[in-house]
Amino acid sequence: MKFKFELGDLIKIPNILCYLRILMVPLFLHIYFTADEQNDFYIATFVVMASGLTDFLDGQLARRLNMVTDLGRIIDPLADKLMQFAMLAALTVRVKYMYLLVIFLVVKELLTSILGFFVMRYAKRRLNGAKWYGKVCTAVLYVIMLALVAFPGMEKGLQEILLIVCACGLALAFVMYTRLYIIMLIDSKTGRNDKVLY
């Protein structure tokens, strides 16, 4: 399937919200790394929450105003991933074992992206947006990361429990997306052409 782009896509409201979310990433990092007191961590947390709110809004507006674009399908998840990685990278400095979760997430995203590209390239099929398990994984990751950002003095044992919950969410999403990609490949091989988007 070909990527469709029109110049007007650049200034559609949902895509503008995505640009704002991308700009919030360096803002969050600056606030977090220059934090001197607890209120600074709350402000950093608020920036991430604002990013999550615009994520919800751009999706709603895109669907309700019929402004879904191929550009939006690319920059929306990109904005999500940038903020996720920014939070994880920042927390690696303060939270023990966070680096393991970062490695796990990077490997998961790389494998999923490669598999998705392979399916789109050779099976001529692609996903029609994020699935429920991807959204649940993102929500769990955000809530836990927000807690860790807002409360840097959290007890180490509780931090470790939260990291394990995150890892389980990532593993679930990876398994479910891999299963769906396999179904798409099988459909392609068996000649089932009634589904191009999944």
Asked if residue 163 is part of any domain, the answer here is yes
Residue 26: the pLDDT is 96
Asked if residue 55 is part of any domain, the answer here is yes
Distance CA 155, CA 142 (A): 19
Asked if residue 133 is part of any domain, the answer here is yes
Tell me the pLDDT of the chain (198 aa) as tens digits: 566 767 777 888 888 889 999 999 999 999 999 999 999 999 999 999 998 888 888 878 888 888 888 788 888 888 888 988 899 889 999 998 999 999 998 899 899 989 888 888 887 777 777 788 888 888 888 899 899 999 999 999 999 999 999 999 999 999 999 999 888 888 888 877 666 667
Asked if residue 159 is part of any domain, the answer here is yes
Per the structure, the complete domain to which residue 168 belongs is given by: 7-189
Asked if residue 181 is part of any domain, the answer here is yes
Asked if residue 184 is part of any domain, the answer here is yes
State the DSSP string of 66-131.
T---HHHHHHHHHHHHHHHHHHHHHHHHHSTTHHHHHHHHHHHHHHHHHHHHHHHHHS--B-SS--
CATH number of the domain within which 109 lies: 1.20.120.1760
Counted domains in the chain: 1
Residue 193: the pLDDT is 66
Asked if residue 92 is part of any domain, the answer here is yes
Asked if residue 2 is part of any domain, the answer here is no
